Amino acid sequence: MDFTRMGKSLKPKVVIVGGGFGGLNAAKALAKTAVDVILIDRTNHHLFQPLLYQVATAALSPGEIAEPIRAIFKRQKNVLVIMIEVIAIDKQEQKVVLNNKETIDFDYLILAPGASHSYFGHYEWEKYAPGLKTVTDALKIRERILLSFERAEMTQDAAKRKAYLTFVVVGAGPTGVEMAGAITEIACKTLLEDFRNINPIETRVLLVEGCDRVLPSYSPKLSQHALESLQQLGVEVKLNTRVSNITTDGVQVGDEWIYTPNVIWAAGNVTSPLVKTLKVDLDKAGRVMVDPDLSIPDYPNIFVIGDAAHCHNESGPLPGLAPVAIQQGKHVAQIIRCSLAGENRTPFQYKDRGMMATIGRAKAVALLGRMEYSGLLAWLAWCLVHIMFLISFRNKVLVMMEWMWAYITYQRAARLITDRTSADT
């Protein structure tokens, strides 16, 4: 089936799978290139994942961190957006296979399918411990958090009340640290005066990490700052501890069984199964072992970027961060332009501008170049960077206003329970 709306165009066709940071920036970078771009995603929106935890903790609404993909490209006439799922790649025939069994030809292919949460073989845990990758995930977690306080308010059983007021976050990377800090702030600040039969300050928030420090990818100094900030908030941090079982009743954390319906998974990622259909070498995390220019071996017109790519720099494999995917998307677009002009392609070189994670109100850690920051200065930098990365001016303004209101009042505007059935599943 011909999905192009450009008529019988003779321009090279670039198919991009995934509307995340990598795919979006690749398509934008091809705006003035003589190609037809087909951007395929199974949702109709680009999601700013670094702020997804704020939807899960009722600080922001989904529309403030997401933007319809069609709206983003409405003025870029060489881009056609299709909402459908790609289930396979046929390298030899130069086609992508859709879940309706139809295919789309390509001259160049950019794979940016992202990743989902990994349960390290225990996929039965997913229904008890949701991860945080999509708007649906975030809303489900938000419902669980808010419903737990409501149920604690109604029960007369002390054991049940304790379970409802207990939250376990598995994994102390940036997402886990941010979630644990945000839940504690909800209990101790936002909901403090909202209930009559419970005291939200009695909420127990545990952050469980298998390594010997939180934020393992950061320097020991920043990890220690993050640990101290979490402890100041009241988060109970368990290091060198692993989860061995999760059920509807609770979670086994090391030698302790914790009764709670509130387990949130932030412990790992697994690459989209789509990349397996490429039939190329993968690393232990399922990422494609790409060549230095981000193409796959023997197929210089097929590229893999973002969370799905295993790409090295001087210090090892690049992390699955938004700046990595953005730079890779732009680099692949440049390679396509060079190929069309008959010029040599260059290897990808990541420009590391730092990492940052927020723990709570005016608490954050940041590595910017060789400088390390913590506290208020790091938090302000975190706010500024995340505002800049949002796609639309509208979202920048809305998020900034929400943060200012929350900073002044400690209130979270999106504390709505709308789908109790979803929260219970």
Spacing of C-alpha 195 from chain mean position: 32
Query: Are residues 67 and 84 in contact, defined by beta-carbon separation less than 8 angstroms?
Result: no
The predicted pLDDT at position 222 comes to: 94
The predicted pLDDT at position 81 comes to: 97
Cross-sheet strand order for the sheet of 363-368: 355-360, 363-368, 371-374
> What is the value of pTM for the model shown?
0.89
The predicted pLDDT at position 82 comes to: 97
The predicted pLDDT at position 391 comes to: 75
Q: What is the pLDDT of residues 48-75, one digit of tens each?
A: 999 999 999 988 899 999 999 999 999 9
The list of the chain residues with pLDDT below 70 reads 1-9, 413-414, 420-425
Structure tokens at 72: 């983003």
Percentage of the chain lying above the pLDDT 70 cut: 96
Handedness of CA 378, 384, 387, 391 (dihedral sign): negative
The set of catalytic residues is 178
Cα-only R_g, the chain: 22
The predicted pLDDT at position 6 comes to: 47
Report the distance separating Cα 239 and Cα 319, nearest Å.
22
Structural domains in the chain plus CATH codes? 13-42+84-117+269-340 (3.50.50.60), 123-267+354-424 (3.50.50.100)
Report the distance separating Cα 161 and Cα 163, nearest Å.
5
Q: What is the pLDDT of residues 339-363, one digit of tens each?
A: 999 999 999 999 988 889 999 888 9
Backbone dihedral region for residue 189 (phi beyond 0: left; psi -120 to 50: alpha; all else: beta): alpha
